[in-house]
Amino acid sequence: MKTKTTAAGRSLWGNAAARLRRDPVAIACLAVIAVYIVIAVISPIMLSHWDASHNYELRNAPPSAQFLLGTDGLGRSVLQKTLLGAHVSMTVGFMANIIAIPLGLLLGAFAGYFGRRIDDIIVWFYTTVASIPGIILLIALKFAFADRKIFSGSICEIDLSGMAGVYLALGLISWISTCRLVRAETMKIKELDFVLAARASGRSDFAILMRHVLPNVFHIAIINFSLGFVGAISAEVMLSFLNLGVQNLPSWGKMINEARMDLVVGRWWELASAVTAMFIIVLAWNIFGDRLRDALDPKLK
């Protein structure tokens, strides 16, 4: 006698992972991102001697077998500068989103769930912050962090005038879009039957938020994390171009700033290296973020 078998159901995350695995473009973009992550992790270790690698006899050398991307005005390898620039951009992008996404997620969930006075305060706060042009606020925060340190004198001392100040400033202005989306989604979820049933059974508001609301809006945080990477990388390059970013390491923005006049005399390799490296990772994150958003959309299942 034959027995009827039923296919096991998939969760939203399982379905999204299956759809991404079947998408060769998403896999290719994820591979590019993984390569950049590996470069960001190992480049400071492998190129720790970079700052002392001046060779004035090889200044502004064009690409060759010895220097694949040529040298800069101090005789340093442009390839090494590009790899270290990936470390700066990827670190800033990751840390800025680690600050911004949880902040936006929690504030949006609290505003949408509790409403009334809490909602009014949070909406007023992010509306006020959003009314200030982002680049102006970013520059103002970076100047405010100049020569500042937190946990001064301890083993965990953080110098806000360096890379930490860049990603902290970015994180403090990048949470607004996540907060808005999570707030709107939470306002819909709190009226659904399973939340009303949990409230009727005597569950506390905090338990309902942790067990029922946040898991159902977490996909917004994942999508915004991927898309926020692009904005953080672009903002870091802009700050470095204005000489307000990282000072003790090469970055793509500083490379573009230093090489902007080299095109007049035909030295294109440093500018091209920085722009190409930035273009590839921004394109990969944009495409992967779009595919991830589609994969997590239950309407497209």
SS3 state at 73: coil
Per-residue pLDDT reduced to its tens digit, 260-280: 877 777 788 888 888 999 999
pLDDT at 300 exceeding the cut of 50: yes
Mean pLDDT of 161-169: 79
Per-residue pLDDT reduced to its tens digit, 113-158: 888 888 899 999 989 888 888 788 888 887 777 777 776 666 666 7
Per-residue pLDDT reduced to its tens digit, 100-118: 999 999 999 999 888 888 8
Q: Which residues contact 291 (CB under 8 A, 6 or more apart)?
A: 20, 23, 25, 26, 29
Q: What's the CA gap between 97 and 119, in Å, rounded?
A: 23
Listed by start position, the domains of the chain span: 14-49+70-300
Per-residue pLDDT reduced to its tens digit, 66-94: 888 888 877 888 888 899 989 888 988 89
Task: Say yes or no: domain 14-49+70-300 is CATH 1.10.3720.10.
Answer: yes
> What values do phi and psi take at 150, rounded to 5?
-115, 150
Mean pLDDT of 180-194: 88
> What values do phi and psi take at 203, rounded to 5?
-65, 145
CA of 247: how far to CAs of 33, 164, 166, 172, 254, in Å? Answer: 25, 11, 11, 21, 9
Per the structure block, which two tokens stand in for 255? 């490379």
> What values do phi and psi take at 41, rounded to 5?
-80, -45
Predicted pLDDT of residue 297: 66
Q: Which residue has the higher pLDDT, 103 or 3?
A: 103
Q: Which residues contact 52 (CB under 8 A, 6 or more apart)?
A: none
